[in-house]
Amino acid sequence: MNAGPYRCKDATRGQNNEYVTLSSPTTYKWNVDYRRSSNGVADKLKEELLEINAEIDNGNGNADIVARRLVIINELQCISKSQVAEIAQKIKIRWCVEGDENSKFFHGILNKKRNQSNIQGVLIDSKWTYEPVKVKGEFFHHFSNRFGKPSDDRVEIDMNFPNTLSVDQKADLESMDLFVVVQYVFNHSDIPKGCNSTFITLIPKIPGANMVKDFRPISLIESFYKIIAKVLTNHLVGVLGDIVNEVQ
């Protein structure tokens, strides 16, 4: 059974249910041995992961190899989480004692999250691909098919909805405060250059994501869009109850 770093104020129960206090040197040695063991296991897993990646690059990948790769990645992440939790506990103690921030730990966490979010490659037809052009093309085709224009043979609803906006409510949505915000855009038939930039970033849905379907896209839009969306939202809140039933 794997044990974590020693805790509980350096005390444990003996055979007769009495507490046995360990000396600081003993606790320190135990923690050092545990860290060395974890680092040794992590190094072996990394070596095995490199060998598996080499096999996949050579076109020898199969379902068993891919499954083993996922297991190794999950084990490495578990070891990393354990080490981060231990460091975080030490940092909390330091904050309590010194009242200071450990910028090295802070930037270490940011770098770790940044590395986890980076897309080094993906599996395309059971083959691991690192080439940026092919990786981008695979993401483009996947999400183009997923979010593209639907076919014309979809079912259409032809009916009158009982909950609709009145003339006054429509006028309220088009009142002057909203009109002033978007007037420039409508008068010039376009948003000024630099204001309509939209960035798409991919967030892994699961640890060790290695396929296109394991990522979800989110859009990062400029503040100009956010202002318009906020104004529309504030106007819509007042009449939303007349459109959608409150039980929905």
Report domain extents, the chain: 8-118, 140-147+164-243
Quickly state the pLDDT bin for 158 (edges 50, 70, 90): confident
Estimate to the nearest angstrom the gap between the alpha carbon of 73 and the chain centroid: 16
Is pLDDT of 100 > 50?
no
Alpha-carbon distance of 188 to 194, in angstroms, equals 15
The predicted-structure confidence for 186-236, as pLDDT tens digits, reads as follows: 677 676 665 666 667 788 787 777 788 888 887 766 656 777 677 778 778
Question: What pTM, to 2 d.p., does this model score?
Answer: 0.34
